[in-house]
C-alpha cells in the first residue's frame, strides 16, 4: 500500500528532528536532504534490481548485470550488501564505526558512478569539524539514519508526486526556521500555484526560472501542466533553471529528481552570466517564472550598459542602483519567445516607486517602457506576511508578448490583500482563495474590492503607478496606500538622492571646486 502525503510528511519531519529537535532541524538541512534523497535512490534501485532478478533468477545475478551495464537502471548505486537479498540502503544503515567518514565516502562513490549526481549529493562532508568539534557527531548521524530507515521510499511504496510534495514540505519547514535566508530558496506554495495556473503551460513547452532557488516554481509549472492536460500521460515540460548558490543549486536538482521530473539546472550568476544561450544570443522559452531576491543593490549601471545580450533596451535599461527588480523583469522579457508569457514575484514598491514624484525616476522609466510596449498583462497584489524573509505583501507581475486583441492597451489589476487566513508563523491563502484568484486572473473578471481592468490612459494619468492598491480599495472607508509601500518609496528616493549627491561630488572634485 502506498504511503499518503500526510503520513510521509510527518515521518520526514520527525526524521529531521531526530538530530536535535525541531528548533535546530533547519541548521542541518544540508545533511538531511541528501540522506533522504539517497534513501529514495536506494529503494528505487532495489525495485529495479528486483525487476531484473525476476528475469535472470536472482539478485546476485542482477547486481552483476547492472555493474557490467549501469545503463540498465536510471541511477547505478555502487552499494552492495554482503547478502545480495538485503536492501541496498542496509550498507548505510548498518554503519557502526566512523559513520560520518563512511557516509561521505558512499555519497562520493554514488556521485562518481552517476555524472548527473555530481555536485548534488557529494557536496557535504558528514565528517566535517569546526574548531576540532564534529558539526554532526556519529551518534546523532546514526539517529538520523535510523529515523530515515523506518519508511521505504520505493516505486511500489510511494509515488513520485507524493514524495515530492513531502520533500517540498520539508523545505518549507526549514524555511520557517531559516529567517532572512529562507526567501532565497523558497516561494510560498500558494503563490507558486497561482502563478503556474495563470500561465497555463501546455505539454512539451519550455519553462525557465532564472533564479530557481530550490526549484519549487518549476515543479509547480509541471504539476499545473499535468492538471490541465487532456492526455493521461502528456508530454512533460522541458524545465530549465539557473541558481547562484551552490547548496541551493544542489537542492533544486534533488527536488526535480525526487519528483521524477527531468530538468537542466545550471549554476552561476544569471544577471551577469546567463548560461542558457543559443548561437551567441539569449535562449528564449515559452514560459518564464521567477521570484528573484527583492531590491538587489549590487548591480551597477555598467552591468546594464555592458550587457552583450541586448536584455536592457534603450528607453528602459538601468532602473537605478537601489533595486534590480525591473532589471530582472527585463531579463525575463528578453528570455521569452514571440508568444511567451512570464510571471515574476517582486517587492510591492516595484509597482509604484517614482510615480507622483517631481522629476524623473529611473525605475518609473522602465515601468513606463513596459506599459507603453503593452507587455504587462496583469498585476496581483498579495496578502501581507506570506513570505518567510519579509512581512511585506509583494506583487506578481504577469507579462505576455502576444496579448489577445481584446486585452491590448489595458492591464488587469487584482488586489488580493484580504484573501488570506491567519497562520503560524505565516499567513496563507486557502485553496478556495487560490481558485478564486486564479479564475479571476485567467478570465479578467472584474469584481468590487478585488479586481479592475485599467486602460493605459488611466495608468498614464497616475504617472505609471501599476499597484492594484492604488486603483482598488478593499474597505468601505477611505483607503490609504499601505505603509510598507510608502516606506519602500521613501527608501528609494533617499537612495537615489544619495547616488545623485555622490555623482555630483565626483564631478565637482574633477573640476576642482
Could you list the pLDDT tens digit for every one of the 513 residues in the chain? 466 666 888 888 888 888 877 667 777 888 888 999 999 999 999 999 999 999 999 999 999 999 999 999 999 999 999 999 999 999 999 999 999 999 999 999 999 999 999 999 999 999 999 999 999 999 999 999 999 999 999 988 887 777 777 877 888 888 776 655 555 667 899 999 999 999 999 999 999 999 999 899 999 999 999 999 877 789 999 999 999 999 889 989 999 999 889 899 999 999 999 999 999 999 999 999 999 999 999 999 999 999 999 999 999 999 999 999 999 999 999 999 999 999 999 999 999 998 887 667 899 999 999 999 999 999 999 999 998 878 899 999 999 999 999 999 999 999 999 999 998 888 999 999 999 999 999 999 999 999 999 999 999 999 999 999 999 988 754 445 565 566 666 666 666 666 666 767 777 777 765
Question: How confident is the model at residue 485, as a pLDDT?
Answer: 61
- Per the domain annotation, does 354 fall within a domain? yes
Q: Indicate whether 217 and 356 sit together in one domain.
A: yes
Structural domain for 93, as ranges? 5-158
- Per the domain annotation, does 502 fall within a domain? no
Domain end (from 158, 189, 213): 158
Question: How confident is the model at residue 185, as a pLDDT?
Answer: 64
Count Cβ atoms below 10 Å from residue 498 Cβ, excluding itself.
Answer: 12
Q: What is the DSSP string of 120-174?
A: TSSS--TT-EETTEESS-HHHHHHHHHHHTTS--STTTS-HHHHHHHHHHHHHHH
- Per the domain annotation, does 402 fall within a domain? yes
Q: Indicate whether 148 and 201 sit together in one domain.
A: no
Domain end (from 110, 130, 158): 158
Question: How confident is the model at residue 1, as a pLDDT?
Answer: 47
Question: What CATH number does residue 426 fall under?
Answer: 3.40.50.150
How deeply is 164 buried, as exposed, middle or buried, from its count of CB atoms within 10 A (0-12, 13-18, 19+)?
buried
Interatomic CA distance for residues 171 and 164, integer angstroms: 11
In 334-427, the DSSP E strands lie at: 336-346, 376-381, 395-400, 410-415
- Per the domain annotation, does 275 fall within a domain? yes
3-state secondary structure of 24: coil
Q: Indicate whether 265 and 396 sit together in one domain.
A: yes
Indicate the number of domains in the chain. 2
- Per the domain annotation, does 28 fall within a domain? yes
Q: Indicate whether 310 and 428 sit together in one domain.
A: yes
Angle at 199 between CA 291 and CA 460, to 5 degrees: 75
Q: Indicate whether 132 and 229 sit together in one domain.
A: no
Exposure letters 55-91 (e unless 16+ CB within 10 A, then b): eeeebeebbebbeeeeeebebbbebebeebeebbbbb
Q: Indicate whether 264 and 129 sit together in one domain.
A: no
* Closest-CA residue to 460 (of 396, 411, 404, 399): 411
Q: Indicate whether 410 and 335 sit together in one domain.
A: yes
> Strands 376-381 and 395-400: what pairing?
antiparallel
- pTM value is 0.87
Q: Indicate whether 83 and 204 sit together in one domain.
A: no
- Per the domain annotation, does 142 fall within a domain? yes
CA 209 to the chain's CA centroid: 8
Amino acid at each position: 500500500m502506498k504511503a499518503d502525503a500526510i503520513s510521509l510528511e510527518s515521518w520526514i519531519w520527525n526524521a529531521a528532528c531526530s538530530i536535535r529537535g525541531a528548533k535546530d532541524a533547519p541548521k542541518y538541512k544540508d545533511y538531511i536532504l541528501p540522506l533522504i534523497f539517497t534513501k529514495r535512490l536506494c529503494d528505487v534501485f532495489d525495485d529495479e534490481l528486483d525487476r531484473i532478478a525476476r528475469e535472470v533468477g536472482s539478485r546476485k545475478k542482477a547486481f552483476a548485470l547492472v555493474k557490467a551495464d549501469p545503463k540498465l537502471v536510471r541511477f547505478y548505486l555502487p552499494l552492495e550488501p554482503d547478502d545480495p537479498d538485503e536492501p541496498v540502503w542496509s550498507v548505510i544503515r548498518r554503519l557502526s564505526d566512523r559513520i560520518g567518514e563512511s557516509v561521505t565516502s558512499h555519497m562520493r562513490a554514488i556521485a562518481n558512478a552517476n555524472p548527473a549526481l555530481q555536485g548534488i549529493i557529494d557536496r557535504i562532508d558528514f565528517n566535517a569539524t569546526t574548531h576540532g568539534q564534529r558539526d554532526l557527531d556519529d551518534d546523532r548521524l546514526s539517529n538520523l539514519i535510523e529515523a530515515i530507515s523506518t519508511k521505504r521510499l520505493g516505486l511500489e511504496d510511494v509515488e513520485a508526486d507524493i514524495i515530492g510534495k513531502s520533500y517540498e514540505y520539508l523545505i518549507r519547514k526549514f524555511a520557517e526556521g531559516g529567517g532572512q535566508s529562507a526567501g532565497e530558496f523558497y516561494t510560498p506554495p500558494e503563490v507558486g500555484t497561482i502563478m503556474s495556473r495563470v500561465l497555463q503551460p501546455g505539454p512539451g513547452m519550455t519553462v525557465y526560472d532564472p533564479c530557481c532557488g530550490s526549484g519549487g516554481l518549476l515543479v509547480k509549472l509541471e504539476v499545473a501542466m499535468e492538471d490541465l492536460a487532456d492526455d493521461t500521460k502528456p508530454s512533460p515540460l522541458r524545465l530549465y533553471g539557473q541558481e547562484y548558490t551552490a547548496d541551493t543549486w544542489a537542492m533544486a536538482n534533488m527536488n526535480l529528481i525526487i519528483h521524477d521530473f527531468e530538468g537542466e539546472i545550471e549554476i552561476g550568476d544569471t544577471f551577469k552570466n546567463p548560461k542558457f544561450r543559443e548561437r551567441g544570443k539569449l535562449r528564449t522559452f515559452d514560459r518564464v517564472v521567477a521570484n528573484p531576491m527583492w531590491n538587489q543593490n549590487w548591480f551597477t549601471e555598467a552591468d546594464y550598459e555592458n550587457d552583450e545580450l541586448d536584455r536592457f533596451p534603450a528607453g528602459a535599461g538601468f532602473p537605478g542602483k537601489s533595486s534590480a527588480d525591473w532589471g530582472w523583469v527585463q531579463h525575463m522579457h528578453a528570455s521569452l519567445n514571440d508568444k511567451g508569457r512570464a510571471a515574476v514575484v517582486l517587492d510591492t514598491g516595484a509597482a509604484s516607486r517614482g510615480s507622483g514624484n517631481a522629476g524623473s525616476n529611473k525605475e518609473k522609466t522602465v515601468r513606463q517602457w513596459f506599459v507603453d510596449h503593452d507587455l504587462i498583462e496583469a498585476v496581483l497584489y498579495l496578502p501581507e506576511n506570506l513570505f518567510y524573509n519579509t512581512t511585506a505583501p509583494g506583487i506578481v507581475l504577469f507579462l505576455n508578448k502576444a496579448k489577445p486583441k481584446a486585452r491590448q492597451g489595458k492591464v488587469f489589476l487584482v488586489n488580493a490583500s484580504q484573501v488570506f487566513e491567519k497562520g503560524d508563523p505565516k499567513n496563507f491563502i486557502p485553496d478556495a482563495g487560490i481558485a478564486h484568484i486564479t479564475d479571476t486572473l485567467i478570465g479578467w473578471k472584474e469584481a468590487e474590492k478585488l479586481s479592475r481592468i485599467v486602460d493605459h490612459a488611466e495608468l498614464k494619468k497616475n504617472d505609471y503607478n501599476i499597484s492594484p492598491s492604488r486603483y482598488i480599495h478593499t474597505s468601505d472607508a477611505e483607503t490609504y496606500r499601505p505603509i510598507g509601500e510608502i516606506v519602500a518609496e521613501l527608501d528609494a528616493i533617499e537612495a537615489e538622492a544619495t547616488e545623485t549627491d555622490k555623482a555630483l561630488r565626483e564631478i565637482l572634485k574633477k573640476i576642482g571646486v
